[in-house]
Amino acid sequence: MSALDPVLNPSSIVIVGASNQPTKRGYQAIRKLQEAQFAGEIYGVNPRGGEVLGVTCYAAIDALPVAPDLALICTPAATVPGLIEACGQKGIKGAIVLAGGFSEAGDEGAALERAMVRAARKWGIRVIGPNTSGSFNATSGLNLVGYERLPQGRIGLLSQSGNMALTWVTEALARPWMGFSTYVGVGNESEVGFHEYLEYFQDDPHTSVVLAYVEGLRNGRAFLEAARRTTPTKPVVLYKSGRTQHGQRAAKSHTGALAGDYSLSRHVLKQAGVIVVEQSDRVLDVADTLARQPALLGKRVAVLADGGGHATITADLLTDFGLQLADLLPETQARLKAALVPQAAVANPVDVAGATDAQPAKFAEAAALLLADPNVDGLIVVGLFGGYHIRFDSGLKDEEIQTAEKLAELAATHGKPMLVHSVYADHRPVPLATLQASDIPVFNSLEKAVHSLSALAEYGASLKRASRSDGAPGEAIPLLAGSDQRNLIDHALKEGRKALFEHEAKQLLAGYGVPVPSQFVLKSLDELPALLPNLPAGPLAVKLVSPDILHKSDAGGVVLNVQGEAALREAFTRIMDNARAYDPQAELTGVLITPMVEPGLEVILGVTRDPQFGPVLMFGLGGIHVEVLKDVVFRALPLTADDAADMLGALRASALLDGVRGQPAVDKQALIDLMLRVSRMCLNHEEIIELDLNPVRVYREGIAVVDARIVINEKPVTLKEEVA
């Protein structure tokens, strides 16, 4: 049994703040529990005692004859810490706190929330909220939200917005095949974390898919870890608001949680197997489809249409969503040609060309051939199906119903997903209702249908990643920091520096097997004669070394293509003069001399410690792609080989890695190896709070780290939890 079972599936409940005033939540909660036929015991607490709708009220929590599993607290914020204390003394296991006025309202409310959490943790009480719309369990009749009806189904719903939950519940009420198992308004996420609800739903037999509306996460790292454990067995669909600065400010004032960088959040959530949907009017369709259909284990889709227009649009949409038209086997096309009218198009998309207008059963015959083709991973049926008896002849109704039954049977037999689009979907004719009852989703919109199909493909790819063992790089990566690497960081911290020198950063990277060019530090021109014999032949790069000037180019601290002793002396002098002019107070250690590296494709790799998700790696193509197009991707650490490979393919300009306009393909394995080594290094050294390798040049074989910057902090950065 889950630790949250007494809270989300209680056998008894007390309404604290029970009232005989119909407008009060303490009245409405009792009424809704009775209307939903909640099977457990209901108690009330009201200082005046009495009854509410036949439920006995007690003057205080300690006067209750038993300790109920759950307390619904309907009283103002200021009363809550004391009431949680009283619940603990009574032995109550859980509480739902409805009131606002806590951390989302400012410092005074945050202090009140901390007091509430201290009381809860003292007694081991699990608290939902505060600032929550409540929760419901449609299976047991636990309606603590106040909805008129609870549409029962297989979607577990988590939301930081009561209005968004109401939006989706209301939408489901209009679609009798949709429904929810349990809903939780997580509110301020003060005591029970978002990730704990995922763990509850993972074990809940009534839930097939989890749908979440998220503004910000108190502990994003824990959420990612819970999602990784949950998604191999149950899909998690998430809508993330706060994509803009205005939205982030609104989220902060709503729940008190940080919304964070949207692009970063979207990427790391997908890494954990979460299906992120960016259109609020498609979220429920996607969740419902994932609840009722198997994952699409490839991208090859067959389209079965009864008209060219729908077929063409669907083909375009499949491309837009990263799916492919399946290449049908020649024998499949031959059998389709024999089964359909001569004018039918039997290359994918398949257009029956009127064959089904009088014989709807032809759809089932064609679907059987398509689903049997090993080149087909899934099928989408588009057009008029379900409405032939409305459009052409009412006598076709029975044949359409039988065809719907046959389509559902075929999908189950082949274990491949099947989705249906129909222009008659909103009419809900019996044939389409038959499909819905058999767990075949029916859509009124081609866009929604293909979007939902792409979610099945994304989930299928996630399942494949989860099933594969983690690939390791070519050479062993140190699991623990060596003394040489540790000494580099300790030395810098003892000197009071907040960053490693570039040559130290490259030394640290080299200790983890990252290839870096040879490098030499020149502290004064007096040292140059002794250094000259050791310098490599060819042009050199000379760069400023200073603990006070991190951005060397801004200070005129970089001179390139330097050759010969005279040029080296001139470069050293120019750099020192420029640095003194830039910052007269700066400490100047000397210059770093490295060989000029060959031109190649430039990429950027960085690591930051995000306040929600912890250490996160960024990768992108260099130059204009970073500065203008912002073509970068993020993944949370630790990184796997699959994660690194996915990052390469996720770039919008990923084709550059494969070579374009006569340029050779670059060494992707070397990039993957670099990412894995940087991942391990940053996990080993928590003092690293920021890393930038920019640029890294990538060649047909191998890479070269041209510049490296590592920012350090003596105290490792911890995830931000504002209330605990």
Among 137, 164, 196, give the residue marking a domain's end.
137
Domain assignment of residue 424, given as a range: 294-467
* Together in a domain, 208 and 227: yes
pTM score, whole prediction: 0.90
* Together in a domain, 626 and 612: yes
144 in a structural domain: no
Beta-carbon contacts of residue 494 (< 8 Å; ≥ 6 apart) = none
* Together in a domain, 274 and 305: no
37 in a structural domain: yes
143 in a structural domain: no
Q: What is the pLDDT at residue 550?
A: 85
* Together in a domain, 26 and 61: yes
Q: What is the pLDDT at residue 258?
A: 44
Among 596, 622, 640, give the residue marking a domain's end.
596
34 in a structural domain: yes
* Together in a domain, 713 and 652: yes
What is the number of other CB atoms lying within 10 angstroms of the CB of residue 269? 24
Nearest to 407 by CA among 449, 383, 375, 371: 371
d(CA 512, CA 504): 13
Q: What CATH number does the domain containing 590 carry?
A: 3.30.1490.20
d(CA 70, CA 179): 24
| pLDDT single digits (tens) 300-329 | 999 999 999 999 999 999 999 999 999 999
* Together in a domain, 308 and 173: no
Count how many domains the chain has.
Answer: 5
* Together in a domain, 12 and 63: yes
Beta-carbon contacts of residue 335 (< 8 Å; ≥ 6 apart) = 369
* Together in a domain, 213 and 269: yes
DSSP 199: H
Mean pLDDT of the chain: 92
Long-range contacts for 321-326 (Cβ within 8 Å, ≥24 apart)? 321/450, 321/451, 321/453, 321/454, 322/454, 322/457, 323/299, 323/450, 323/453, 323/454, 323/457, 324/299, 324/300, 325/300, 325/301, 325/349, 326/300, 326/301, 326/302, 326/373, 326/375, 326/376, 326/377
Mean pLDDT by 10 residues, the chain (724 residues): 89 97 96 95 97 97 98 97 98 96 93 97 96 95 92 96 94 94 95 95 97 92 96 97 64 45 93 96 97 97 96 97 97 96 95 90 96 98 95 94 97 97 96 97 98 98 83 49 81 94 96 93 95 94 94 94 95 96 95 95 94 94 71 93 94 88 89 96 94 95 95 70 40
* Together in a domain, 48 and 190: no
507 in a structural domain: yes
Q: What CATH number does the domain containing 327 carry?
A: 3.40.50.261
Q: What is the CA radius of gyration of the chain?
A: 31
Chain length of the chain: 724
Q: What CATH number does the domain containing 65 carry?
A: 3.40.50.720
Q: What CATH number does the domain containing 715 carry?
A: 3.30.470.20
Nearest to 722 by CA among 253, 190, 261, 197: 190
| pLDDT single digits (tens) 45-59 | 999 999 999 999 999
Q: What is the pLDDT at residue 256?
A: 42
* Together in a domain, 475 and 404: no
- Per the DSSP assignment, residues forming a β-bridge with 12 are 41
646 in a structural domain: yes
* Together in a domain, 117 and 163: no
Q: What is the pLDDT at residue 661?
A: 78
Render 50-65 in DSSP notation, one character per residue.
-EETTEEEESSGGG-S
Among 258, 292, 326, give the residue marking a domain's end.
292
171 in a structural domain: yes
d(CA 390, CA 395): 9
* Together in a domain, 559 and 649: no
| pLDDT single digits (tens) 246-283 | 555 554 443 444 446 889 999 999 999 999 999 999 99
142 in a structural domain: no
Q: What is the pLDDT at residue 245?
A: 65
